[in-house]
Amino acid sequence: MIIRPMGAPEVTAPRRRPDAPRAHWPGQLNYPPSERRIHLPLEGRPTQLRIRGQVHSATRGGILLIGWFYLAMAICLEVAAATCLKLSNGIPGWDDDARVLPFVLMLVFYIVCFLFMSKSLEYIQLGVMYALWAGLGTILVACVGVYLFNDTMPVIKITGIGLIIIGVAMVNLGGTQAKSDKPAEGAVSEQT
């Protein structure tokens, strides 16, 4: 129910033409299926993704979100691998009470983690990617240790985790997008 003052004219939103593209957020348009394309302006990287038949923008603020997705997956898999390492109780064959399944899962998680890390390097600078991976992974592993394994969390550890958070924030302030391999306009390239 719309409440308006008496005598005020009814205000309606302007009607959209049926053939006009719809905007989901600024800079992103959803074109009809016959006009959907994946554009590749940034060194062959897609800036639009097709999800369930819909085209969505992969960029916001000039940084490709897919790189952040790959990095988030790498961090989650690294935390899962470290947790499985703790659950395995050592290396099967070397330790008597070692468990095989958590050890195998740890190996799989680390392999897939490094695959996601290598994909994120196509979009994010190496120093930023590694700082985020190591810093956020350390924080999450410390939290998992407290909640699952009853690890202690004295004030000195909390202070160290706080410093890690500050360091990760400082690294992000310097920019995160990977530079292109193309030389700058007007630059002279060396060819031998």
- pTM for this prediction: 0.60
The residues spanned by each domain of the chain are 28-60, 63-173
End-to-end CA distance of the chain: 74
CA–CA–CA angle 24, 25, 30 (5° rounding):
40
Q: Could you give the CA distance from residue 69 to residue 61 in angstroms, rounded to a whole number?
A: 15
User: pLDDT truncated to tens, each residue of the chain (192 aa)?
Assistant: 555 556 656 655 556 566 655 554 444 455 444 444 444 344 445 555 555 555 555 555 445 688 889 999 999 999 999 999 999 988 888 888 889 999 999 999 999 999 999 999 888 888 888 888 998 999 999 999 999 999 999 999 999 989 988 888 888 777 655 555 444 454 454 444
User: What is the predicted pLDDT for the residue at 74?
Assistant: 97
**In this predicted structure, what is the pLDDT of residue 152?**
93
Q: Which two tokens stand for residue 94?
A: 């070397």
Return the pLDDT at 112.
97
Residue with tokens 């997956």: 73
User: What's the pLDDT score for residue 179?
Assistant: 56
DSSP state of 131: H
Q: Which residues contact 144 (CB under 8 A, 6 or more apart)?
A: 79, 82, 83
Residue with tokens 């916001």: 60
Angle in degrees, 0-180, between the axes of helices 100-120 and 65-88, rounded to the nearest 10: 160
Residue 168 CB partners (closer than 8 Å, separation 6+): 131, 132, 135, 136
Which DSSP state fits 95? B
- pLDDT of res. 177: 56
pLDDT of residue 27: 45
Distance (Å, rounded) from C-alpha 67 to C-alpha 114? Answer: 14
pLDDT of residue 187: 47
Task: Give 31-63 as a DSSP string.
Answer: --GGG-----TBTTB-SEEEETTEEEE-EETTE
Spatial distance between the Cα atoms of 170 and 49, rounded to a whole number of angstroms:
30
